[in-house]
Amino acid sequence: MRHLLSLLLSACILATNTPAHAADTIGLSFLSVAVPERGGVMDVTLWYPATAGGTPILIGDSPLFKGEVAQHDAPPAAGNHPLILLSHGGLKSGPFIGAWMASRLASKGFVVAMMRQPDPETMTSEESLHEIWLRPADLSAALTAIEKDGSLPVQIDRSRVGVLGFLVGGTSALSLAGGRLDPESFARSCDSDGTGVDCAEFAGAGIDLHSIDPQNIARSHLDQRVKAAVIVDPEFGANFAPDSLKRISIPVRLINLGTPAKIWPGLRASGLKSAIPGAHFDLVTDASQYSAFSECKPSGAPILREEGEEPLCDDPERTSRTVIHDRLAENVAAAFRADLPQ
């Protein structure tokens, strides 16, 4: 599964005139930021509210998924806009898996910074584990670079910064809010009674989570510049140290996609609600964990069936992934409008 998903999720960037969904003008700029934890630089896509102009560009198009259209280097909409740091995907994920959300939030008045993660094709299973502590550092490094950059194409209100995470990105978002993983709990996540999501791959690669350096797992990634967090289907949510969750002082919104009976144990966020002061928890019951992926092309489901892969293009009956995405984006935007400083 990993090889196929890496191939299909490594979506391309194409010039185009055909949007994936109707939206207001969305500007897009590309940044390279220094990430000390990785010893190099990473690319960031910056999505922002824009006016007419720029060059049409298609982001995230692949054999499975539809891409999102933006206007490269379009003139920005007037005003100072809140900034959302977006991290989407599992330990190995395509570079633009969160483009559908970035595009929608930009159309609602937010600037969205989305990191382009390392190529999943060249990442080993052991290297993918490092993403647990590298991705929060990526987000903070991106924020630092954006704060220092005087040539950004759009005005950002640096007092209104939020973080949005899906899956391992949800782990990262919770880490920036102040949560710390408990090394012993994390090590047990692939034991017989654990809730780890990628345990079969780790076992196949001969990786024992009990051998991972606990100092890397337990490190703090608290970033006090972040004022609100929205977390969707977080991996390792059951493995955070309870004392760290109790000390979180910013508003946190937790979202699970699906009905309680169908949510994978390793993605359940309901238990975090009582652990985080003032946290809100919502269920999107007419969705599934696959609804967090981009909208599929007509050929997507047949490709997956032919390859014997997970049904990434399947949503619950009588639902539309586009409608789910629109509603989820509206809920996330409303949460940040309410929770970020005014």
CATH code assigned at 137:
3.40.50
What is the residue-level pLDDT of the chain in tens, covering all 342 positions?
444 444 344 444 554 444 344 336 999 999 999 999 999 999 999 999 999 999 999 998 988 899 999 999 999 999 999 999 999 988 767 778 899 999 999 999 999 999 887 766 777 888 889 999 999 999 999 999 999 998 999 999 999 999 999 999 999 999 999 999 999 999 999 999 899 998 988 999 999 999 999 999 999 999 999 999 999 999 999 999 999 999 999 999 999 999 999 999 999 999 999 999 999 999 999 999 999 999 999 999 999 999 888 888 988 888 999 999 999 999 999 999 999 998
Residue 310: what pLDDT?
85
| Cβ–Cβ < 8 Å for 60, 70 | no
Task: Indicate the number of domains in the chain.
Answer: 1
Residue 12: what pLDDT?
47
* Residue 107 located in a structural domain: no
Domain hosting 334: range is: 32-47+79-89+117-339
Residue reference for tokens 């005005």: 155
* Residue 101 located in a structural domain: no
Q: How far is CA 109 from CA 19, 27, 268, in A?
A: 19, 11, 30
Determine the Cα–Cα distance for residues 87 and 141; give it in Å rounded to an integer: 13
* Residue 61 located in a structural domain: no
Residue 302: what pLDDT?
92
Q: What is the pTM of this model?
A: 0.92
* Residue 241 located in a structural domain: yes
Q: How far is CA 123 from CA 91, 130, 179, 197, 237, in A?
A: 10, 10, 26, 18, 24
* Residue 249 located in a structural domain: yes
Cα pseudo-dihedral 189, 191, 193, 195, rounded to 10: 30
Residue 80: what pLDDT?
95
* Residue 291 located in a structural domain: yes
Q: In Å, how far from its chain's centre is CA 341?
A: 22
Strands 228-232 vs 111-115: parallel, antiparallel or unpaired: unpaired
Determine the Cα–Cα distance for residues 76 and 21; give it in Å rounded to an integer: 20
Instruction: Label residue 233 left, alpha or beta by phi (over 0 means left) and psi (-120 to 50 means alpha).
Output: left
* Residue 14 located in a structural domain: no
The tokens for 235 are: 């991996």
**Any idea what the Cα angle at residue 172 is, between residues 50 and 325, rounded to 5°?**
45
Residue 13: what pLDDT?
53
* Residue 173 located in a structural domain: yes
The tokens for 241 are: 């140290």
Residue 7: what pLDDT?
39
The tokens for 6 are: 């890496």
Burial class (CB in 10 A: 0-12, 13-18, 19+), 264: middle
Determine the Cα–Cα distance for residues 171 and 295; give it in Å rounded to an integer: 24
| Cβ–Cβ < 8 Å for 89, 38 | no
| Cβ–Cβ < 8 Å for 120, 2 | yes
